[in-house]
A = this chain, B = another copy of it.
Amino acid sequence: MRLTTKGRYAVTAMLDLAFYSQDKPVTLTEIAARQTISLSYLEQLFARLRKAGIVQGVRGPGGGYQLNQDAKKISIGAIVEAVNEPLDSTKCGGEANCQHESMCLTHDLWMGLSEHIESYLTNITLADLLAKGDERRNAEQMGESVVKIRRTRKKS
């Protein structure tokens, strides 16, 4: 399990999507505006999320993206894993035989750590995070300043 800014972008976008797509699909353009993530980068991330079956694209006017599953079923770990490429997990793939015995010792220990974090992230769902957000949103009203931005694209 790798933890980088790419995963954070994906989780941020998914939280936004889960929050705003309760009645209708949300366009990436909206998410890009709200979360200040570039539209094209979002497109890349959501292409992976769609292939992983986490979100569903709806084409045409009024379209956008929706969750493909219940927010209670979508784990943070799944989101992070979807956008990161597999990571060849050290020279000795999995539990293979390393030349140096002490190597695999430390390697196993690191894998143990990694698996712990992975299982932690897998046991937190989008719904959990949304609930935490609701708590926080009691006092301060949540702003709805959806700035209409236009895609940076030249006309042909």
Contact = CB atoms under 8 A, between A and B. Distances in A.
Contact of A11 (B15, B33, B110, B120): B110
Interface in A114-146: 114, 116-117, 120-121, 124, 129, 132-133, 136-137, 140, 142-143, 145
A147 B133 CA distance: 55
A132 B112 contact: yes
Contacts of A5: 87, 90
Interface of A: 1-5, 8, 11-12, 15-16, 19, 33-36, 76, 87, 90-91, 99-103, 105-110, 112-114, 116-117, 120-121, 124, 129, 132-133, 136-137, 140, 142-143, 145, 147
